[in-house]
Amino acid sequence: MSQFYAACPPGLEELVAQELRSLGCAGLSPRTGDRDSDSEGGGVSVEGDLETLYRLNLHLRTASRVLARLGEFYAASFAELHQQSSRLEWERYLNPGGAVRLNVTCHKSRLYHSEAVAERVLKGIAQRLGKTSPALRANEQPEARAQLVIVRLVKDRCTISVDASGELLHRRGYRLAGAKAPLRENLAAALLLACGWETGAPLLDPFCGSGTIAIEAALLAGGIPPGRNRRFAFMDWRDYDAALWERVRQSSLDEHTPVTARIQASDRDAGAVQTARENARRAGVLDVIEFSQRALSAVEPPAGPGWVVTNPPFGVRVSQRKDLRNLYAQLGNVLRRRCPGWQAAVLGNDPRLFSQIGFPLKTALATQSGGLNVQLRIGKAP
Ligand SMILES: C[S@@+](CC[C@H](N)C(=O)[O-])C[C@H]1O[C@@H](n2cnc3c(N)ncnc32)[C@H](O)[C@@H]1O
């Protein structure tokens, strides 16, 4: 059994835990994101074997990456850190001399200088593998593939993990061209799970932009695993079992269910709708989403009740506030007149804008998107 960690944006831990439970995982232990000690947000630890690791990467919709725990030890001096690092089984994950990218965070520890910590871990790797690995900085976009290694020092306890995902899991591979302010795909999936959308019920996104919410809804309703068409960092590991991966992937494809829900997505911007259609085609769900170019005022929802799950424009500049107040008030009117009895789930960042909607909404999720604190508020349209 190995220890894995499904990392996620802050606030999504419980949704990741729910997903893990439905994948049949045991030994779950959620950790809430702590911005002081962890730049990655929170996540959930889980035990499992190689097949578990492959299934998590293939199926998790709300996580940002899956890490494999390589070691955990006490290190209050550089000598200890170097020595302990050199004892880890790096050969399972790294080719001797292969590039690595180190992400180091130190919190309430005697070793607090992250660059110096990184240097000692690299020395440990070189000692173990007999060859020095070139290191890229954590924020450097690697030209060639580099294995990400995550080092966390909290109160002198060092945990070292390797990233099994590679590109972040929200990069499903279907979204090449972005419209204005696209949502990350894992956040779109989180909105759908958090608002309790029943996957057979109608769904409408009247501000669809690049179509992320509707596409994630179609993938969810169809039981289509988000990672089926991409590669993962674990495919470069020495213990990569290509036959096992293919078996895991193929058995998930056999579990597809037909999408029965009416999923409508619209936007007033013709370019956004075109992009959304192309994204849906790449995701293999174009035929189950009804896209149209139209303003909010012109939406024609199917027979309901259903769910409106949406992400209207956010206010960042003061000059936009009046327009946005009007837009949110209009959203409230459209919901009351055309979607009575529907559940509304709206992602935004401004309590004054939410209040323009004009009926009670409660916070179902609080997280971050594009560097902003955002909330998903839900309520029933009267
Ligand atoms: C924040 S973006 C939505 C992003 C989307 N969730 C995505 O992942 O790409 C808001 C969208 O609302 C659209 N929009 C703004 N005002 C609108 C209106 N009155 N009617 C319809 N769409 C509108 C914009 O064109 C923009 O695409």
* Residues 53, 300: Cα–Cα separation, whole Å: 43
Neighbours of 254 (CB within 10 A): 7
Atom of ligand 1 minimally distant from the CA of 310: 6
* Residues 229, 308: Cα–Cα separation, whole Å: 29
Q: Is 352 in the pocket of ligand 1 (CB under 6 A)?
A: no
Q: Which pair of tokens denotes residue 28?
A: 């779950």
Atom of ligand 1 minimally distant from the CA of 314: 1
* Residues 376, 382: Cα–Cα separation, whole Å: 19
Atom of ligand 1 minimally distant from the CA of 295: 20
Note the pLDDT of residue 143.
53
Q: Is 295 in the pocket of ligand 1 (CB under 6 A)?
A: yes
How many angstroms is it from 7 CA to the middle of ligand 1? 29
How many residues in total does the chain contain?
382
Dihedral sign for Cα 364, 15, 305, 303, please. Answer: positive
Domain boundaries, the chain: 2-163, 185-222+258-380
The closest residue, in CA terms, to atom 10 on ligand 1 is 313
Q: Would you tell me which CATH number, out of the four given (3.30.2130.30, 3.30.590.10, 3.40.50.880, 3.90.1150.10), belongs to the domain 2-163?
A: 3.30.2130.30
How many angstroms is it from 208 CA to the middle of ligand 1? 6
Q: Is 180 in the pocket of ligand 1 (CB under 6 A)?
A: yes
Q: Is 234 in the pocket of ligand 1 (CB under 6 A)?
A: no
List the chain pLDDT tens, one digit each, 382 residues. 899 999 999 999 999 999 999 999 877 777 765 444 444 568 999 999 999 999 999 999 999 999 999 999 999 999 999 999 999 999 999 989 889 999 999 999 999 999 999 999 999 999 999 988 888 765 666 555 789 999 999 999 999 999 999 999 999 999 885 556 789 999 999 999 999 999 999 999 999 999 999 999 999 999 999 999 999 999 999 989 999 999 999 999 888 899 999 999 999 999 999 999 999 999 999 999 999 999 999 999 999 899 999 999 986 666 678 899 999 999 999 999 999 999 999 999 999 999 999 999 999 999 999 889 999 999 999 9
Cβ(70)–Cβ(89) under 8 Å? yes
What is the helix (H) or strand (E) element at residue 265, kind and residue range? strand 263-267
* Residues 260, 201: Cα–Cα separation, whole Å: 8
Note the pLDDT of residue 98.
87
Note the pLDDT of residue 317.
66
Neighbours of 40 (CB within 10 A): 19
Mutation probe of ligand 1 site: the residue of 192, 266, 267 with most atoms within 8 A of C-beta: 267
* Residues 238, 350: Cα–Cα separation, whole Å: 48
Q: Is 298 in the pocket of ligand 1 (CB under 6 A)?
A: no
Note the pLDDT of residue 134.
81
Mutation probe of ligand 1 site: the residue of 192, 204, 268 with most atoms within 8 A of C-beta: 268
Mutation probe of ligand 1 site: the residue of 186, 207, 325 with most atoms within 8 A of C-beta: 207
Q: Is 370 in the pocket of ligand 1 (CB under 6 A)?
A: no
Q: Which residues contact 236 (CB under 8 A, 6 or more apart)?
A: 95, 145, 147
Atom of ligand 1 minimally distant from the CA of 210: 9
Mutation probe of ligand 1 site: the residue of 175, 180, 347 with most atoms within 8 A of C-beta: 180
Note the pLDDT of residue 1.
87
Fold of 185-222+258-380: Rossmann fold (3.40.50)
Which amino acid makes up residue 235? M
Q: Which pair of tokens denotes residue 275?
A: 């992009």
Question: Measuring CA to CA, which residue among 297, 293, 284, 222 is closest to residue 264?
Answer: 293
Cβ(271)–Cβ(179) under 8 Å? yes
Half-sphere exposure of 119 (CA within 13 A, CB side): 8
What is the helix (H) or strand (E) element at residue 51, kind and residue range? helix 50-59
The closest residue, in CA terms, to atom 12 on ligand 1 is 207
How many angstroms is it from 187 CA to the middle of ligand 1? 16
Which amino acid makes up residue 172? R
Question: Measuring CA to CA, which residue among 312, 355, 300 is closest to residue 213?
Answer: 312
Q: Which residues contact 319 (CB under 8 A, 6 or more apart)?
A: none
Calculate the alpha carbon distances from 4 to 1, 147, 245, 268 in Å: 10, 16, 17, 43
Q: Is 311 in the pocket of ligand 1 (CB under 6 A)?
A: yes
* pTM of the full structure: 0.94
**C-alpha triplet 55, 61, 63: angle, nearest 5°:** 85
* Residues 128, 90: Cα–Cα separation, whole Å: 7
Whether residue 305 has a cis bond before it, omega within 30° of 0: yes
